[in-house]
Structure 1
Amino acid sequence: MPKKSKELSALSVAKIKATGRHSVGGVDGLCLNVKGNSRVWILRAVVGKRLDKDGELKPHRRDIGLGPYPEISLAEARVKATELRQQIRSSIDPVAYKQEQLEKLKVQKLRDRTFLECAKVVIANKTRELKNEKHIAQWTSTLETYIYPALGNRSISTITKVDIAEVLQPIWIEKNETAKRIRGRIETIFDYAKAMGYFEGVNPAEWKGNLEPILGNLKQESRPHPSLPYEQVAEFIQHLRQKKGISPKALEFAILTACRSGEVFGATWKEIDLKNKIWIIPKERMKAEKEHRVPLSLEAINLLKSIQEYTQPQDFIFPAPRNGQMLSDMSLTTLIKHMHEQKIKENYLGYIDPKQNRVITTHGFRSTFRDWSADKTDYPREVCEHVLAHKLPDEVEAAYLRGAYLEKRKALMADWANFCNVQKLIE
């Protein structure tokens, strides 16, 4: 038991200057420790017992810091000391307790990371992982549109499956494909948060047995992209060539090459071999992750030459007008929609897939090409499929086609361009 000390007044404490430990009374063990210009409150107390060097249990005396004087007044120091004495009587080690609270606070700060903060890290990782810039942009745009307004600033540790279901519910039926992709992105973000220790427990964006009972499955009908009958292609291109801007050029090039829109949007001049009339698409930009050589017809070459002077060698061939970056699918979708509506005003049926009664799409022209090549030519199926860069089941056969059948594909693409050529329509 510490010796009882005389209870000093605030004025008496203020006069203490000598180096050393000075008892101030009021609470057993409360001292003011003076060392140079430093004056600090200390509570000297026995906190349980500990083994000494001889293996005997001895009282465990601790010096517990209460803070500097005069920032902490005498009265405040006595209040703090009294509280710590009460903890000790309850068999609580104040020093260990404080350390435990600091650790809990540290963990809590980690778990207070917001959904937005975690999403930004995941998107940065995806930027290095994904090869398609459009897919990277979709990560950001979909989360910004549908998720961040409600959950962006929420601590990720507090978000539940009900919260996620509520933000997905409004688009689950009308935009089901988009909603499913967003759910998958949210699940990836929570996987990251869990790995980092920001979140514990079951991933709230998991589907099976988690969000599935809340949102429910929708019956999906697999439908091909609406395509234009090949008999109308020449008429469509004649109409297309009346349009100004880079989007019509990109769409015509996509039709003439039967390539995917993403492959066209990402095309650069360094991929074009004008001398040999070949467009070499690197494997990094191909869906099948294999280099694809596209024979260029005379019409395709002329189209490229018509815009070559307006862009730089290192640029995209079909840059977006506003920022020089890649075009988007929406630019071609909007173009086709406007052309369709213009035809409707002229009392035509417009550009409709007669089997689906839906407006055609850019991707649908690949089906148009395939129907034409099957119905109107005698080229082998394998050659036609390779034009579309479809993966053939036989790897050896596929490798052979990439080389030996290149000349046949050149002839096929020349015939296709001739079929599409507006001059044929006029004649």
Structure 2
Amino acid sequence: MSKLTPKLVKETTTPGTYQDGRGLFLKISAGGTKSWVFRYSFQGGRRDMGLGAFPAVALRDARLAADKARLELAQGIDPLGKRHQLQHEARANRRKGTTFKTEAELFLRTHAPSWSPRHAVQWRNSLGTHVYPRIGELPVAQIDTDLVLDVLAPIWSTTPVTATRVRNRIELILDAAKARQLRTGENPARWRGHLDKLLPRHKRSTLPFPALPAEQVPALLHKLDRMANPAARACELLILTATRSGEVCGARWEEFDLEGRVWTIPAQRMKAKRTHRVPLTEAMLEVLEQVRGNHREFVFLNARRTGPLPGNALRRVLDAAGAENCVPHGFRSTFRTWAAEQTNHPREVCEMALAHTLESKVEAAYNRGDLLDKRRALMEEWSAFLGTFEREVVFKALSVSEPAGGE
């Protein structure tokens, strides 16, 4: 005979187990959660089968579910075993129907919000160009080593950087699919102990970014100063601060404390995803003053005045200034070489000026500051070095690339 009533089920809150009869009972946890359980014996063993939580499953529904389980027991069927089998078959059917492209797009929707827009575009472009045409419509559960090699082989030797990134992205997507129980077994896109035995290892490039010697930079700065465009001002700030192109081109006024003479670049705009403070010298402030008031948000505007300056604008302005043999990133190398050869500043100060992570984990653990004051002295010395050349020396350095009749 049943012992529970709808009112009793609804009003009872004391933790415990409340029997309804014939193996059905209501379980109330210490946190107040109420759930239905059907207890039965099968082949000499006791089993507890969950029937759902109250109030989603009412007393009447729980009794009907228990009656169904009793009928299956009378037929020699284990109700819980049958449930597990149905769940397994459902997962198997889901694995058969989920394509690699579907799983990849889910991975992108999940993770892209934490990436930079540029990184997300690179992911989509590489998958759309190299992966989807070959394996995009195949079930993700069927992706094996041969299929991964079909994607990588055409680009492995011709575009090694892209191929390496594509392999890693396939591996991440397949790992996510396995975590969602859409596939089983080892990941066919893993490198170590698998694809490294089937594909040749890429030779690491040891060529540094093309850079100017420090002694030639003042002449370049003088020429940039005579060019009236935002890209020239951005290039000047990049050289003076030894920062990266993306950090300068995407600079926002809200990041600058002009009175305190500090530029704080937020973590999401830094390569290492750590906030970086740049001490501002008088020369840097003069550059900023020239573009102040052009826009409320962005320091350096694109040609259409719709957003930040694109990174390739810096390379174009260097070409226009006659510095075709160097790239914007190379000025960081120029600065680091100058600091090592012509100053006595400690290595960690120079490395932090470049927002580099300290190689020694022990050193990094104990040195958690950013050495702002010491770096300010270093950057003041760098600015002074760039402004020490006499005007006639500057013009002499520029005379080779400057057209006749120039100012």
Same fold (TM over 0.5): yes
In 1, Cα distance between the equivalents of 2:74 and 2:395? 110
Counterpart in the other structure of 1:408: 377
Alignment partner for residue 170 of structure 1, among 129, 134, 154? Answer: 154
Counterpart in the other structure of 2:23: none
Compute the displacement of 1:261 (Å): 2.2
Counterpart in the other structure of 2:329: 363
Alignment partner for residue 194 of structure 2, among 210, 228, 231? Answer: 210
Compute the displacement of 1:265 (Å): 3.4
Matched, 1:387 2:369: no
Secondary structure in 1 aligned to 2:194? helix
In 1, Cα distance between the equivalents of 2:167 and 2:391? 46
User: Percent same amino acid among aligned pairs?
Assistant: 32
Secondary structure in 2 aligned to 1:207? coil
Counterpart in the other structure of 1:316: 298
Alignment partner for residue 174 of structure 2, among 180, 187, 190? Answer: 190
In 1, Cα distance between the equivalents of 2:96 and 2:389? 60
Compute the displacement of 1:230 (Å): 1.6
Question: Whose radius of gyration is greater, 1 or 2?
Answer: 1
Alignment partner for residue 339 of structure 2, among 373, 388, 393? Answer: 373
In 2, Cα distance between the equivalents of 1:167 and 1:244? 48
Indicate how the Cα distance of structure 1 residues 212 and 56 shifts in structure 2: closer, same or farther if over 3 A, else same: closer
Indicate how the Cα distance of structure 1 residues 202 and 103 shifts in structure 2: closer, same or farther if over 3 A, else same: closer
Secondary structure in 1 aligned to 2:300? coil
Alignment partner for residue 118 of structure 2, among 134, 137, 146? Answer: 134
Per-residue CA deviation, residues 211-235 of structure 1 (Å, 9 max, x unaligned), is 2333221232433322111222133
Secondary structure in 2 aligned to 1:279? strand
Compute the displacement of 1:236 (Å): 2.9
Say if 1:225 and 1:363, in contact at 8 Å, map to a contact too. Answer: yes
Say if 2:95 and 2:139, in contact at 8 Å, map to a contact too. Answer: no
Alignment partner for residue 111 of structure 1, among 87, 96, 100? Answer: 96
TM-score, L = length of structure 1: 0.63
Indicate how the Cα distance of structure 1 residues 417 and 213 shifts in structure 2: closer, same or farther if over 3 A, else same: same
Alignment partner for residue 123 of structure 1, among 108, 114, 117? Answer: 108
Per-residue CA deviation, residues 270-312 of structure 1 (Å, 9 max, x unaligned), is 1101112221123444344543221222332222222232212
How do 1:26-65 and structure 2 match up within 5 A?
none
Say if 1:116 and 1:148, in contact at 8 Å, map to a contact too. Answer: yes
Secondary structure in 1 aligned to 2:106? helix
In 2, Cα distance between the equivalents of 1:56 and 1:301? 86
Amino acid aligned to 2:174 = F
In 2, Cα distance between the equivalents of 1:145 and 1:421? 53
TM-score, L = length of structure 2: 0.65
Secondary structure in 2 aligned to 1:208? coil
In 2, Cα distance between the equivalents of 1:102 and 1:171? 41
In 2, Cα distance between the equivalents of 1:154 and 1:423? 68
In 1, Cα distance between the equivalents of 2:95 and 2:220? 58
How do 1:276-287 and structure 2 match up within 5 A?
276-287=260-271
In 1, Cα distance between the equivalents of 2:295 and 2:391? 26
Indicate how the Cα distance of structure 1 residues 367 and 214 shifts in structure 2: closer, same or farther if over 3 A, else same: same
Say if 2:91 and 2:182, in contact at 8 Å, map to a contact too. Answer: no
How do 1:60-75 and structure 2 match up within 5 A?
none
Say if 1:249 and 1:303, in contact at 8 Å, map to a contact too. Answer: yes
Amino acid aligned to 2:125 = S
Indicate how the Cα distance of structure 1 residues 279 and 198 shifts in structure 2: closer, same or farther if over 3 A, else same: same
Q: Structure 1: which 5+ residue stretches go unaligned?
A: 1-51, 59-96, 344-349, 353-359
Say if 2:243 and 2:332, in contact at 8 Å, map to a contact too. Answer: yes
Compute the displacement of 1:168 (Å): 2.0
Amino acid aligned to 2:191 = W
Per-residue CA deviation, residues 172-198 of structure 1 (Å, 9 max, x unaligned), is 123212211221111000111112222
Say if 2:267 and 2:273, in contact at 8 Å, map to a contact too. Answer: yes
Q: Comparing 181-190 with 147-156, which one deviates more in the overlay? A: 147-156
Compute the displacement of 1:139 (Å): 1.9
Say if 1:112 and 1:157, in contact at 8 Å, map to a contact too. Answer: no
Amino acid aligned to 1:173 = S
In 2, Cα distance between the equivalents of 1:396 and 1:172? 39
Secondary structure in 1 aligned to 2:186? coil
Alignment partner for residue 148 of structure 1, among 123, 129, 132? Answer: 132
Compute the displacement of 1:142 (Å): 2.2
CA RMSD in angstroms, aligned pairs only = 3.9
Per-residue CA deviation, residues 105-148 of structure 1 (Å, 9 max, x unaligned), is 77334432222221222122322444x44333322232233223
Counterpart in the other structure of 2:28: none
Say if 1:110 and 1:198, in contact at 8 Å, map to a contact too. Answer: yes
Amino acid aligned to 2:328 = T
